A and B are shown apart, each in its own frame.
Chain A
Amino acid sequence: MKRASLRPVLAIVVAAVVAGAIITGLLPGYWTYLATAVLISAVALQGIGLVAGRTGMIALCQMSFAGVGAWTVGFLNVGGAPGGLAVWIVIGGLAAVPFGVAIGLPALRLRGINLAIVTLGFATAFDAILATITFPGQTRFISVARPAMFDGDGGYFVFALLFYVALAVALEFLARTRLGAIWLAVRHSERAAAAHGISIPRAKLSAFAISAFIAGISGGLLAGYLGTLVADNFSMMQSLVLFAVSTMTGAQFAEGALIGGILAVAFPEILRRLDLGQDIGNLLFAIGATQALSAGEAMSETLRRKVRGFRGARPAAPHPGVAIAPPAPPPRHQGVALATRELGVRYGTVVALHGVDLTVPEGAVVGLIGPNGAGKSTLIDAVAGFLHAYSGSVELGGRAVDGQPAHVRARNGVRRTWQTTRIAPELTVGDYLRLAGGDLPEEQVGAILSWIDCPHPDTPVASVDAGTRRLLDVAGVVAARPKVVLLDEPAAGQSYDETLKLGRRIAEIPNLFGCAVLLVEHDMDLVRAACSEITVLDFGRVIAAGPPAVVLEDPRVRKAYLGIEEGSAAA
């Protein structure tokens, strides 16, 4: 673990100790009591922040998961299970996990909107069930027993604080792992994530399971806080309000969850003291959430951007020395990296590709050119596994990959870039490279970035201009060192000089990284600079293939580009 990533963790712990000391030592008991409520809300918000804020799924049954946790704690309490409250709470969290997975499963592979509907449906169903079965001990007024040393208001505050800090630290670490980057990538673009070899269902399910666990913990904490519970504590409306608050404050970050917790407790409290309805607080959350969705930025995100802005004013650290060369490529066989056999694609009645045979030898840079609508992007989609159906076959290193989904093909050796860049802006440049390329050593990240003129690894992607992001796309796919990389118009939007420079870099890819390249590009100067061979598509068929100098002078190619034989239509 890097020292830089320990800083926020340290900050959380120090802040917690200071706040804990002030609140328990100086404030009157009622305030401590309220502060405990803040922490429990903040824990619940961290759970929804993970699934909604970080992974971008609409989950509307978070309080039902909390209800499962609370019910479990009540059950263990009434039954006099060993271990005491802390253990029961963890068991309660674990009990919520299978529910989370079960709700997430049916909505995994379909439009995200279905998840919103199914979770809201679960929340209603849970309301009905809970109202019927009631909480263990509810009718006999058996209160949940707190551990002796945390029994008072101050004590239970410390107890809740320990849970909050433990979860905040764990989540902060998790956010810095590859899994954390994967969640952000999935939120930003599922297709792009799959192209990096990420299994989308697994990414979503892991988020949902962990989020349900945290929700269950918050329910258990609430059980210990209130002693006895009623179904209303976990009603569907509470889940909806929680979603609004997390959207407003950005609960995917520890500070966002805490701000949300403070607002969720403070608003009703202030309104109560003013003799106004406490429910009006929800109106403010609704407005805040709508505003955040409209701005595309929650409170914690704004905060982080501002803080980053101040830090950004300092001079950027120098690039790592170019002297570190990327390591030698894996041993290369003189074979075929990628081949398509009789590849055919039709969209309804339109035939987009018509029995295309294309070969990319190992160590080669092959250009794929052709007029608009010739089928170039379709070919990339078919090869990378993003089309539902095609005829013929795609072979990677001599092995057919048909039938494999996109993320499996990516792991088996084909990586692609996109015409519009799809990098999650919340990542840093280094995070992205590690997401795309696997666990690269620090100096490798620096070396690859400086090879293609990308900024320092700690630079947030959000502050990188669009042209450089396209270079970062290229850096990402080569960092994974697949058998073949498919580059879809990498030079779009680059200036003339940058284009030629990019062409030289692309020509170096086979030697530096051991990957063959299939380059789709309109800029002929780039094609000439980078490619050893060119294949020309027109109307979904290969009309010419060979060395650039020969192919670009071919009359058939001129005709494809200029429409009609030159001169024949003049009149």
Chain B
Amino acid sequence: MTRLVVSGLRVDRAHLPVVRDVSLAVESGRISVLLGANGAGKTTLLEGLSGVIPVAGGTIEIDGHDIHRARPGARVAAGLAHVEQGRTVFRQLTTDENLRAGACAASDVAAAYELFPELLPRRDVPAGLLSGGEQQMLVIARALAGRPKILLIDEMSAGLAPTIVRRLMATVRRLADQGLAVVLVEQFAVLALGVGDRAYVLRRGEIVYDGACAALRDAPDMLHQLYLGGSGDGPA
């Protein structure tokens, strides 16, 4: 049982506070969905968690150990994996090399192909030549090959066809059911709410909703307002 507890987190970008006073808790077997419009601070929050950018305040604890000052590499060792947005495959490396670069042992690579059999026929192809969906599978598989306990995924569905998104969502659900703690950052809310357990909604860097995914799913008006603004929120 792993717990990631974040409290009072503040992350700045170019000296501007982009994430302000965010607290959340994530645990094994659960998918936490992080929603919000573009620019709400979702990506910055994940980058603060994984150490891509330094945090300006607050704490990040994995099973009671504060890691908010550790380098990204040390956070990986503590069990955190971060799948960045934009499908950051090593383009000049083949699919297999991408997996091996992240793997602890050969068995991890084999496990990756089991999870995503689509990648097996593409194993010797440079990752830059894979389709968007295959690249997304590859970066998730590459992160899993390092045997993380907590998986942060940023904008998994951006630019992908709906069938692929459903396929990936189902896989993420299965991973969580097997004991992984997942934080899913999504701009496309509905599908994510379909597989997630708990939802957080960010607006201008602050959490404005914290509750069950199901409750948010059943309130489309609320969702619509969160994304497209207008009605009921300030003098629009």
Asked if chains A and B are in direct contact (CB within 8 A), the reply is yes
Whether A564 pairs with B13 at a CB distance below 8 angstroms is: no
Distance of B9 from chain A, by nearest CB (Å):
17
The yes or no answer to A528 lying at the interface (CB within 8 A) is: yes
Q: Is the CB of A529 within 8 A of B236?
A: yes
* CB under 8 Å from chain A, chain B span 205-222: 217-218, 220
The residues of B that contact A529 with a CB separation of less than 8 Å are 236
Is A25 on the interface with B (CB-CB < 8 A)? no
Q: Are B227 and A561 within 8 A (Cβ)?
A: yes
Distance (Å) between the CB of A422 and the closest chain B CB?
Answer: 11
The residues of A that contact B223 with a CB separation of less than 8 Å are: 562, 566
Task: Check A495 for interface membership: any CB of B closer than 8 A.
Answer: yes
The distance in angstroms between the C-alpha atoms of A372 and B38, with both chains bound, is 7
Pick the contact of A552: B165, B230, B235 (CB < 8 A).
B230
Q: In whole Å, how far is B218's beta carbon from the nearest beta carbon of chain A?
A: 8
Closest-CB distance, A527 to chain B (whole angstroms): 8
Is there contact, CB below 8 Å, between A563 and B38?
Answer: no
What residues of B have a CB within 8 angstroms of the CB of A564 in the complex? 162, 188, 190-191
A466/B16 in contact, CB under 8 A: yes
Report the bound CA distance from A371 to B18 in whole Å.
19
CA A372 – CA B227 in complex, angstroms? 13
Q: Which of A466, A552, A563 contacts B15 (CB 8 A)?
A: A466
Chain B residues with CB below 8 A from A195, complex form: none
Inter-chain contact A371/B194, CB cutoff 8 Å: no
**B42: shortest Cβ distance to chain A, in Å?**
10
* CB contact between A562 and one of B18, B190, B229 (< 8 Å): that residue: B190
Residues of B within 8 Å of A569, CB to CB, are 166, 190-191, 194
Of the listed stretches B56-64, B99-107, B142-150, B153-161, name the one at the interface; the rest are far from the partner chain. Answer: B153-161
Q: Would B234 and A525 count as touching, CB distance under 8 A?
A: yes
Contact: B190 with A563, CB < 8 Å? yes
What is the CB-to-nearest-CB distance from A484 to chain B, in angstroms, rounded to a whole number?
23
Chain B residue contacts of A523, Cβ below 8 A:
37, 39, 229
Shortest Cβ gap from A489 to chain B (Å): 7
Whether B227 contacts A566 by the Cβ 8 Å rule is: no
Q: Which of B17, B37, B159, B192 has the most CB of A within 10 A?
A: B159
Give chain B interface residues in 152-198, CB to chain A under 8 Å: 155, 157-159, 162, 165-166, 186-194
Among B38, B204, B223, B224, the most chain A Cβ lie within 10 Å of the Cβ of B38
The answer to whether B190 touches A522 (Cβ under 8 A) is: no
Q: Report the bound CA distance from A557 to B190 in whole Å.
A: 14
> Considering only CB atoms, which chain A residue lies closest to B217 in the complex?
A570
Measured CB to CB, the closest approach of chain B to A353, in angstroms, equals: 13
A334 proximal to B (CB < 8 A): no
Contacts A500-B234, A567-B220; is A522 near B37 (CB within 8 Å)? yes
Docked-complex contact A522 and B39, CB < 8 angstroms: yes
Contact between chains at B228 and A524 (CB < 8 Å): yes
Give the chain A neighbours of B158 by CB distance below 8 A: 371-373
Q: Is the C-beta of A558 less than 8 angstroms from some C-beta in chain B?
A: yes
Interface flag for A451 (CB, 8 Å):
no
A67: min CB distance to chain B, Å: 44
Report Cα–Cα, A561/B128, bound state, in Å.
Answer: 27
Inter-chain CA distance A523–B16, complex, in Å, is: 17
- Whether B14 is near chain A, meaning CB under 8 Å from some CB there, is yes
Q: Which residues of B contact A4 (CB under 8 A)?
A: none
Give per-residue flags for B2-40: 1 if the beta carbon is below 8 A from chain A beta carbons, else 0. Answer: 000000000001111110000000000000000001110
Bound together, the chains give a CA A564 to CA B141 distance in angstroms of 25
Q: Knowing A563-B165, A564-B191 are in contact, say whether A465-B39 is a contact too (CB < 8 A).
A: no
- A467 at interface by CB-CB < 8 Å: yes
CB of A421 closer than 8 Å to a CB of B: yes
| Contact present for B194 and A571 (CB under 8 Å) | yes
Instruction: Identify which of A348, A500, A558, A563 contacts B228 (C-beta below 8 A).
Output: A558
Separation in Å of the A280 CB from the closest CB of chain B? 37
In angstroms, Cα B85 to Cα A119, docked, is 41
**Nearest chain B CB to A236's CB is how many angstroms away?**
37
* Beta-carbon contact of B190 and A561 below 8 Å: no
Does A562 lie within 8 Å of B227, measured CB to CB? Answer: yes
Please give me the residue from chain A that is nearest to B235 by CB atom: A500
Q: Determine the distance from Cα of A525 to Cα of B162 in the docked complex, in whole angstroms.
A: 28
* Interface status of B120 (Cβ within 8 A of chain A): no
CA of A561 to CA of B220 in the docked complex: distance in angstroms?
13
Tell me whether B52 is interfacial, beta carbon within 8 Å.
no
Whether the Cβ atoms of B39 and A492 lie closer than 8 Å is: yes
Q: Report B-chain residues with C-beta under 8 Å of the C-beta of A528.
A: 229-230, 236
Q: Which residues does chain B contribute within 8 Å of A31, judged by CB atoms?
A: none
Whether, in the assembled complex, B129 has its beta carbon less than 8 Å from a beta carbon of chain A, the answer is yes
Contact assessment for B159 and A558 in the assembled complex, using a CB-CB cutoff below 8 Å: no
Rounded to whole Å, the gap between the CB of A192 and the closest CB of chain B is 14
A139 contacts the other chain (CB 8 A)? no
Bound complex: CA of A524 vs CA of B192, how far in Å?
22
Q: How far is the CA of A570 from the CA of B189 in the complex (A)?
A: 11
Closest to A567 in B: B220
Which residues on B sit within 8 Å (CB–CB) of A75? none
Query: Complex Cα distance A569/B39, Å?
Result: 25
Picked from B18, B217, B235, the residue with its CB within 8 Å of the CB of A493 is: B18
Bound: A523/B40 CA distance, A = 9
A-B contact pairs, 6 of them (CB 8 A): A371-B38, A373-B158, A465-B15, A525-B230, A562-B190, A571-B194
Extra contacts, 18 of them, besides A528-B230, A569-B194 (Cβ < 8 A), are A348-B128, A371-B158, A372-B159, A465-B15, A466-B14, A493-B13, A496-B234, A524-B228, A524-B229, A525-B230, A562-B190, A563-B157, A563-B187, A563-B189, A564-B162, A564-B188, A564-B190, A569-B166
Give 8 closest A-B pairs by Cβ, nearest first.
A563-B188, A524-B229, A493-B16, A522-B38, A522-B39, A373-B159, A466-B15, A525-B229
